[in-house]
Amino acid sequence: MFEGFSVSDVEVDEATIHVRHGGDGPPVVLLHGHPRTGATWHRVAPLLVSAGFHVIVPDLRGYGRSTAPAQRPDHSQASKRAMAADIVAVMRFLGHERFFLAGHDRGSYVAFRLAMDHPEVVRAVALLDCIPIVEHLDRLTPEFATAWYHWFFFAQPETPERVITADPEAWYGGDPAAMGAENFAERQAAIRDPRVVTAMLEDYRAGLTVDRADEEDDRRAGRRLAVPALALWSSRDDLEELFGDPLAIWREWALDVSGGRIDSGHHMAEEASQALADALVTFFRAR
Burial of 263 (0-12, 13-18, 19+ CB in 10 A): exposed
Element (H, E) at 29: strand 27-31
Active-site option among 118, 193, 266, 278: 266
Angle in degrees, CA 71, 76, 80, rounded to 5: 120
Residues shown for the chain? 287
Q: Does residue 30 contact residue 45 with C-beta atoms inside 8 Å?
A: yes
Alpha carbon distances (Å) from 51 to 6, 55, 77, 225: 18, 10, 36, 26
185-194 LR contacts (CB < 8 Å, sep 24+): 186/37, 186/39, 186/64, 187/35, 187/36, 187/37, 187/39, 187/40, 190/35, 190/37, 190/63, 190/64, 190/65, 191/35, 191/164, 192/168, 194/161, 194/165
Kindly state the helix (H) or strand (E) to which residue 98 belongs, with its residue range.
none
Quick count: other Cβ atoms within 10 Å of Cβ 217?
Answer: 10
Q: Are 217 and 244 in contact (CB under 8 A)?
A: no
75, 86, 96, 105: which one is catalytic? 105
Whether residue 266 lies in the annotated active site: yes
Catalytic residues, by residue number, are 105, 266
